[in-house]
Structure 1
Amino acid sequence: MSDNTKVALVTGGNRGIGYELVKQLALKGFKVILTSRNPEMGESATQKLKESNLDVHFLVMDVNDQESIHLAAITVSKEYGRLDVLINNAGVYLDENKKLVTVGPSILEKTMATNFFGAYYSLCSFIPLMEKQGYGRIITISSEYGAMSEMSYPGVGAYKLSKLALNGLTQLVAAEIKGDIKINAVDPGWVSTDMGGQAAPKTPKQAAESILWLATVGPDGPNGEFFRVGKRIDW
């Protein structure tokens, strides 16, 4: 690998927006690590991209498992020696149309485990690799449902709380990191994926395009901000 080839990692990269992010990063010349907790789905998605001569590699990583994330970070360090871009994309949407207090604690716990703690452990494991080279770009795939203003409206409470916490995590980490490392949150909008459903107006390709500019911003680019379609939005 030539010294100037940047390495990117996308969590939950085997389908939907994650898959499209992997593809577009590879088309931009990145060496991309596609992670998924499902080995068969991950391998199959990676193979498909490799057939288009894209520099994509598969790594099993379950964001619900702290040890799995830790081991993945060790592998990335050993095999690539660097990580330039991290996209925390893996997420779940488990809410039924019930009140938060009646939906049952297991739904909230599972949602927080993936959407919040998964991103938190990924940051803990991969930021040291970025700090070693004094450079990194981190993108948190969030949602406008995580905006503070959304908390005044009922519905999808577990999902909303997980994204609110994720937004807070993004701001805290942005305030703490040193060097040319930037972390920003993005709302991809309503996208036609397994999660968004077929009625959604946006394709995964369009969503990925509206996100990826943050992977290559310069040293004067934003840090600790929340974006939708390239525009800053309120937390």
Structure 2
Amino acid sequence: MSAATVALVTGANKGIGRETARRLALRGATVLLASRDPDRGAEAARTLAGEGVRVRPVRLDVTEAESVTAVAARITQEYGRLDVLVNNAGTFLGARATDTTGAVMQDTLAVNVVGVVTVIHALLPLLRSAPAPRIVNVSSTTASIGLTADGSDLPGDASLRLAYASSKAALNMLTVQYARAFAEDPELAHLKINAASPGYTATDMNAFRGTRSVEEGARAVVELATLPDDGPTGGFFDDRGRVAW
């Protein structure tokens, strides 16, 4: 990667998003560190600058179409294209299945699914202009219908993740649908899109109970963001390989 490579990471002021932004910047990319709260984004950029890593903070709320449009306009004006999009912004509203309301589900989907569609739709013209564009949707192993149905012992509290796991399963389906649509469009066939599972990573989303570091959690995300031309598309991966749908 080089400074000519432009990458946008959503929800990047902390955790896996910030680590992903850091690693892409270390690889030489121009990284836009997007966060809903501009102050937190600026603070994250300052923290990385203290480590000798330069990123550019931008305000982006994936649930606000105007915010997404403004970022797309800025990228268009300043760079003219986008090479890497990492859809990392996400939310976890823990509730037992019998206590999960429509409002909880709606708020979860608004960020984890609808927000991703909003961002991709707005930025697709910029990705189309890139020579080797990559989209990474940050998913979760708990989204695996196969592993869940088999009764696999997935990390975290299974009783509280109905909304979260369902939203990430929907995100995986978005990934497959986009991949098929891109493959059928000659102007988008070079765009690779994949879903990444960071594993049970210690972040504030799980009160830092995760067993993996953010460095480990970001590994698969960065690998998929920097795939070579012969890399896969439309898949679901962690840092060990494919994850069961």
What TM-score, normalized by structure 2, do the two folds share?
0.89
Q: Which residue of 1 aligns with 2:166?
A: 161
**Which residues in structure 2 correspond to 1:120-139 (within 5 Å)?**
120-139=117-136
Q: Distance between the aligned counterparts of 1:217 and 1:166, measured in 2?
A: 20
Q: Distance between the aligned counterparts of 1:46 and 1:186, measured in 2?
A: 24
Q: Which runs of 5+ in 1 are unaligned?
A: none
* Number of residue pairs the alignment of both structures matches: 231
Q: Which runs of 5+ in 2 are unaligned?
A: 152-157, 183-187
1:204 to 205, 214, 224: 214
CA shift digits 1:104-137 (9 cap, x unpaired) = 1111000000000111111111121111234301
For the residue of structure 1 that corresponds to 2:7, the secondary structure is strand
What is the alpha-carbon root mean square deviation over aligned residues?
1.7
For the residue of structure 2 that corresponds to 1:168, the secondary structure is helix
- 1:76 maps onto 2:86 in alignment: no
Q: Which residue of 2 aligns with 1:90?
A: 89
Q: Which residue of 2 aligns with 1:224?
A: 234
Q: Distance between the aligned counterparts of 2:167 and 2:110, measured in 1?
A: 9
Q: Distance between the aligned counterparts of 1:165 and 1:98, measured in 2?
A: 17
CA shift digits 1:135-163 (9 cap, x unpaired) = 30111100112122356477321112111
For the residue of structure 2 that corresponds to 1:9, the secondary structure is strand
Contact 1:189 1:207 in 2 (8 A): yes
**Which residues in structure 2 correspond to 1:36-185 (within 5 Å)?**
36-99=35-98, 102-149=99-146, 152=149, 155=159, 156-177=161-182, 178-185=188-195
Contact 1:192 1:198 in 2 (8 A): yes
Answer with 213-222 or 104-113: which moved more: 213-222
Task: Tell me: CA distance 1:230–1:80, structure 2 relative to 1, closer, same or farther (3 Å).
Answer: farther
Task: Tell me: CA distance 1:92–1:150, structure 2 relative to 1, closer, same or farther (3 Å).
Answer: farther
Q: Distance between the aligned counterparts of 1:75 and 1:203, measured in 2?
A: 33
Measure how far apart 1:49 and its partner are. 1.5
